[in-house]
Amino acid sequence: MTADIPSQEIGTPIPQNVSHAVSVTLPTWEATVGYEEGESWVTSKMNSGYPRFFIHSKIGELSKNVESKYGRDGEKSIIFPSYKVAKRCREFIKLRSKKPVRILQLSTPPPSNDFEKSSVIQSTIGVVFFSEEDFPIAKQYWQHSGEGISSRMAEYVLRELFENEKKDKDRFRSRTKQELQAERIQKKSPSISASFRSSSLSQNEEVEKEFNTFIEQKYGRVLDLKFAKEAKRALKRRICGKVDKSKNQEEEMEKAKRGKNLSENDVFLYPTGMASIFNAHQICLGISDTPKKSVCFGFPYVDTLNILKKFGPGVHFLGFGDDQSLDQLEKDLRSGEKDIMALFCECPSNPLLKTPNLKKIRALADEFNFLVVVDETVGNYLNIGVLPYSDIVVSSLTKVFSGDSNVMGGSLILNPLSQHYNEMKTYLDDEYEDLFWAEDALYLERNSRDFEVRSHKINQTSLDVVDLLVNHPLISQVFYPSLLESKKYYDELKTPQGGYGGLISFVFHKPEHAKSFFNHVLLHKGPSLGTNFTLACPYAVLAHYQELEEVEKWGVDQNIVRISIGLEEKDELLATINSALDIAAAQN
């Protein structure tokens, strides 16, 4: 297997040889089914997987160490990045089980001197202990909320708490000459922060100077933990449409992607995209006088619906997400329906790529006083502008914003023009925890620097792939924002330089052709989307295997294939797809 050909071996991380890879190879239709059914010929080879569904080896190792040292007989554990999150998991379990549940809080030591700040950071984890039989319940919370500990954080905590138990005692005895020299310099010279204070700089000027230092050094290869705060600030600026400030730019410029009223203080970072959705729902519940059901408008990604179902009063599911659904919602509202707290939707939806009529949704929300939460992951803010029609915008930064498929992340944006803004901001001021692990933030910042260039290329290539699929005789339907009836709503949101994104779903006339195509196409095959490489999956089988007949009622064909377009050369990608189509056609 050459380096240029995607691995077709079950369980291979995607990207290969990346210890924190987000995706994993399921190279055939049969392997995907085998994975869903728990067949050993597949599961025994799965050494990695999508992080919210698969417990990473470092997380598993940390759990075993914690259980061995602190656990009781018959207990299992699951680990979260804070005590507050662990409490939420405990309550979730207690509502579904009568067996004992307890929490242990553990912390790693802080850096002992300035030299250590590059590689040492104090961190706290919340460990939930429960009966072994309740592990499936705890795992539900992990998956749905997206608030589980990241694999990089687990790796760090494992090293600090268990692999380096003697570190604190030996730290001063084993200092290097470089550390000793650094200590002598610190004694002779004031610290950087002290220097700032002595020169009478304001607090804002101090922060700005530190940020500029980060920007000047950000193209280095070393990921320095002491720059995590600056990396997060750079991410927030990028998300809200600001250009990074460097020595070549005297003034920051706005890209007009988000609007002049948005500031980085309205952007909140989370460990995963699902955590941002989960916390958006928590905001809606938290600011409501009386929590009510939410509306799920359109067929969404599986865990979005699970969040709305399992946390709070429940959900009104309008799975088609079309004009008729919106007309019915309006009719119900005008007939006195008052049990609506918020409306959640994707723009466009995954996997059917429908675009909701956000203008009408916004008008109804204003008239009947409910919040609008829009997941823009598939569209992305370079292509569409959904903020004016939303109270909250959420996104998975794991996808095209990162591209490299080696880090998880999510964002939540409050619309400063929302009539609910003050309530939402007050809630987050009290409740928000920054749980985005420092090293993950550094990776994501580095990955996302060329986001705009990558997004543009993906848009262009996708149009050619769509043309190929639309005109192929084996294919009965192609789902893409520019092809559907809801294109008119997408075009209302499209930015001047925006495109229609990189996600394409399609259905074959015959199921056997879908399976043959998928088995023979030489692409990366596994969960996730928005990667820098083209990634394919049999979506319904992978995401809804236990409910295939149910999802078909909402227009999701059991044999639908989804492709997320990457950065390959267009002609090579078209040839790869065409070759697999030819093989499928030959098997009539």
Is 12 contained in some domain? Answer: no
Is 23 contained in some domain? Answer: no
Is 523 contained in some domain? Answer: yes
Token pair listed for 272: 């995963």
CA 577 vs CA 466, 534, 536: distances in Å: 11, 11, 11
Give the burial class of 33: count Cβ atoms within 10 A of its Cβ; 0-12 exposed, 13-18 middle, 19 or more buried: middle
Query: So what's the pLDDT on residue 340?
Result: 96
Domain end (from 449, 474, 498): 449
Assess contact for 292 and 333: CB atoms under 8 A.
no
- Is there a single domain that holds both residue 302 and residue 425? yes
What does the alpha-carbon distance between residue 560 and residue 515 come to, in Å, rounded to a whole number?
A: 10
Query: So what's the pLDDT on residue 207?
Result: 60
pTM of the full structure: 0.88
- Is there a single domain that holds both residue 401 and residue 326? yes
Q: Return all residues near 140 (Cβ < 8 A) that are at least 6 apart.
A: 92, 310
- Is there a single domain that holds both residue 420 and residue 394? yes
Is 208 contained in some domain? Answer: no
CATH number at residue 300: 3.40.640.10
Q: Return all residues near 108 (Cβ < 8 A) that are at least 6 apart.
A: 121, 122, 123, 124, 156, 157, 160, 161
Is 143 contained in some domain? Answer: yes
Helices marked H in 316-390: 323-334, 358-368
Is 238 contained in some domain? Answer: no
Query: So what's the pLDDT on residue 524?
Result: 98
Burial 550-577 (b: 16+ CB within 10 A, else e): ebeeebbbbbbbbbbbbbbeeeebbebb
What does the alpha-carbon distance between residue 247 and residue 464 come to, in Å, rounded to a whole number?
A: 40
What does the alpha-carbon distance between residue 209 and residue 89 come to, in Å, rounded to a whole number?
A: 40
Q: What angle do CA 224, 225, 229 make, to 5 degrees?
A: 110
- Is there a single domain that holds both residue 542 and residue 499? yes
Find the helix or strand (DSSP H, E) in which 135 lies.
Answer: helix 135-145
CATH number at residue 576: 3.90.1150.10
Could you give the 3-state DSSP secondary structure of residue 575? helix
Query: So what's the pLDDT on residue 3?
Result: 44
Q: Return all residues near 80 (Cβ < 8 A) that are at least 6 apart.
A: 86, 89, 125, 126, 127, 128, 147, 148, 149
- Is there a single domain that holds both residue 443 and residue 508? no
- Is there a single domain that holds both residue 298 and residue 436? yes
Domain end (from 117, 146, 168): 168
- Is there a single domain that holds both residue 76 and residue 151? yes
CATH number at residue 68: 3.30.70
Token pair listed for 277: 């959705």
Phi, psi of 285 (to 5 degrees): -65, -40
What does the alpha-carbon distance between residue 266 and residue 255 come to, in Å, rounded to a whole number?
A: 17
Is 385 contained in some domain? Answer: yes
- Is there a single domain that holds both residue 501 and residue 515? yes
Query: So what's the pLDDT on residue 493?
Result: 97
Query: So what's the pLDDT on residue 209?
Result: 52
Query: So what's the pLDDT on residue 47?
Result: 86
Burial 340-373 (b: 16+ CB within 10 A, else e): bbbbbbbbbbbbbbbbbbbebbbebbeeeebbbb
CA 348 vs CA 3, 173, 298: distances in Å: 34, 58, 9
pLDDT tens, per residue, the chain with 588 residues: 334 689 999 999 999 999 999 999 999 999 999 999 999 999 999 988 898 888 999 999 999 999 999 999 999 999 999 999 999 999 999 999 999 999 999 999 999 999 999 999 999 999 999 999 999 999 999 999 999 999 999 999 999 999 876 455 454 444 454 554 544 444 333 332 322 223 344 556 556 555 544 443 444 445 789 999 999 999 999 999 854 333 333 333 334 445 567 999 999 999 999 999 999 999 999 999 999 999 999 999 999 999 999 999 999 999 999 999 999 999 999 999 989 999 999 999 999 999 999 999 999 999 999 999 999 999 999 999 999 999 999 999 999 999 999 999 999 999 999 999 999 999 999 999 999 999 999 999 999 999 999 999 999 999 999 999 999 999 999 999 999 999 999 999 999 999 999 999 999 999 999 999 999 999 999 999 999 999 999 999 999 999 999 999 999 999 999 999 999 999 999 999 999 999 999 986
Q: Cis link prior to 348 (omega < 30° from 0)?
A: yes
Assess contact for 214 and 185: CB atoms under 8 A.
no
Residues belonging to the chain:
588
Find where tokens 């659904």 sit.
Answer: 325
What DSSP designation does 384 have? B
- For the chain, the domain total comes to 3
- Is there a single domain that holds both residue 443 and residue 389? yes
Query: So what's the pLDDT on residue 49?
Result: 87
Query: So what's the pLDDT on residue 241?
Result: 82
- Is there a single domain that holds both residue 358 and residue 283? yes
Domain residues for the domain of 156 are 57-168
- Is there a single domain that holds both residue 490 and residue 580? yes
- Is there a single domain that holds both residue 510 and residue 415? no
Is 328 contained in some domain? Answer: yes
Q: Name the CA radius of gyration of the chain, rounded.
A: 25
Three-state SS annotation for 181-247: HHHHHHHHCCCHHHHHHHCCCCHHHHHHHHHHHHHHHCCCCCCCHHHHHHHHHHHHHHHCCECCCCC
Per DSSP bridges, beta strands 315-318 and 124-131 are unpaired
Domain end (from 168, 192, 223): 168
